[in-house]
Structure 1
Amino acid sequence: MITSALPSPADLRAEREAADASATAWALAARAGDTDAVDRFVRALHRDVLRYVSYLCADPQAVDDLAQDTFLRALGSLHRFEGRSSARAWLLSIARRAVIDGFRHASARPRRYDGADWQAAVERAQPQGVPGFDDGIALLDLVAALPAERREAFVLTQMLGLSYEEAAVIGGCPVGTVRSRVARARGELMELVG
């Protein structure tokens, strides 16, 4: 009999819940002044914040800055974190506000490119020959084609692994709305791929 080497959905959920519990415990310990817990908290959630911000933000150059801004905001307001939700959900809601503020800032001060052929400069800056790069670009293009609310719900639940309840808290909408958005996003992606 052949068995799958992939973990079951229940195992993945249990693993994510354990990681969320650890990150929340580190956030609460950091709130109490434990500097080692601050480092563990940031390391545990840094990748998720980068992924989430990169899907919300249209400017790849700003992703690291927005992630850093997210952690600065979070650490500055850590004294108000009470652990009523997971630290991941709390941090991703801060990341969402950081991206929105970044959009507001960018729209108030647009940047201009001084070069003569900006399209050629962009094409030269793209990595080439990297395994999986074209597939990643195709996935980004497909996800980017989704309406913003559906894209956000899809990324939070399907790519970052948050529960529908946590995504609802971050998105500021009911759980049923998140479920509907994810289902519609899946349908649209299937149509785009087909």
Structure 2
Amino acid sequence: MHLCAPERPGSRLTREGHLVITSALPAAAELRAQRDSADASVTAWALAARAGDTDAVDRFVRALHHDVLRYVSYLCADPQSVDDLAQDTFLRALGSLHRFEGRSSARTWLLSIARRAVIDGFRHAAARPRRYDSSDWQAAVERAQPRNVPGFDDGIALLDLLGALSDERREAFVLTQLLGLSYEEAAVVSGCPVGTVRSRVARARGVLMELVV
């Protein structure tokens, strides 16, 4: 009797019964398709909001509020200002909806606005510095994380690891690996070439792998 290992996702069995690890591209493709569908819906709501649909405004804000909070939390030098910066982001976006034409996804467009809001926040903080301790930082980021779900503690551990990255590498990693943007979309948000984003993500992964070994 010949025993062989059972198949599992990302693997296949040869005729001889050997287990071969294969790429999990179908799962990745399915996840990307779901993200593209969600982005299409959010973009449609943004365009409808631009036309004066108040219900679409509410859907647009609700759909992207968590992503904005999370992104701002990773970038912001003053965790006490995270909520204010997120609110400022949406105020800027709603005030600029008349200029949004849907050439990029509404999520990419909004995160670009969030980035500018953070940069403006840096400039303001430089003029009026504020002190805070590490517990404040931890609490601010935890508010932007999902609660009572598998992997939450792992997410908090990842925050500590991300602190070892440079600002540019951390931003590229967060945009592509945590928020799910493509390299092209992350390049639009960051205002840099796609190749630069790829390099930053690769270097960030290398640093993180060294830290967890």
Give 2:50's match in structure 1, choosing from 31, 41, 47.
31
Residue 180 of structure 2 aligns to a residue in which SS?
coil
User: Distance in 2 between the 1:80 and 1:177 partners?
Assistant: 28
Q: Give yes or no for contact 2:176–2:186 (8 Å, CA) kept in 1.
A: yes
Partner of 1:8: 27
Choose which of 180, 183, 200 in structure 2 pairs with 1:181. Answer: 200
The question of 1:138 aligning with 2:157 is answered yes
Distance 1:58 1:138 in 2: 19
Counterpart position of 1:167: 186
Q: How many residues align?
A: 184
Q: How many Å separate the matches in 1 of 2:27 and 2:167?
A: 30
- Which runs of structure 2 are paired with 1:17-56 in the superposition (5 Å)? 17-56=36-75
Distance 1:33 1:143, change over 3 A: same
| 4+ aligned runs moved over 2 Å, structure 1 | 1-4, 130-138
Superimposed CA distance per residue, residues 78-107 of structure 1 (whole angstroms, 9 cap, x where no aligned partner): 100011100000000000000111111111
Please say if 1:97 is aligned against 2:116: yes
Structure 1 stretches lacking a partner, 5+ long: none
Instruction: Answer whether contact 2:39 2:105 (CA < 8 A) is retained.
Output: yes
The one-letter amino acid of 1:142's match is: L
Which structure shows the higher helix fraction? 1
2:202 aligned partner, one-letter code = A
Rounded Cα–Cα distance in structure 2 between residues aligned with 1:41 and 1:142: 32
Structure 2: stretches of 5+ with no match in the other structure: 1-5, 10-23, 143-147
TM-score for both structures, normalised by structure 2? 0.79
Higher relative contact order (CA 8 A, sep 6+): 1
Distance 2:97 2:120 in 1: 20
Q: Rate the CA distance shift 1:42–1:133 in 2: closer, same or farther, 3 A.
A: closer
Select 1:84's aligned residue among 96, 99, 103: 103
One-letter identity of the residue aligned with 1:174? P
Distance 1:132 1:14 in 2: 23
TM-score (norm: length of structure 1): 0.86
In the alignment, the residues of structure 1 paired with residue 176 and residue 130 of structure 2 have an alpha-carbon distance, to the nearest angstrom, of: 33
* Structure with the greater alpha carbon radius of gyration: 2
Residue 135 of structure 1: how far off its partner (Å): 4.1
Instruction: Kindly state the Cα deviation for residue 133 of structure 1 after the two structures are TM-superposed.
Output: 6.8
Q: Take 2:153 and 2:27, find their aligned partners in 1: how far apart are those partners?
A: 29
CA distance in 1, matches of 2:152, 2:183: 29
Work out the percentage of aligned pairs sharing the same amino acid.
82
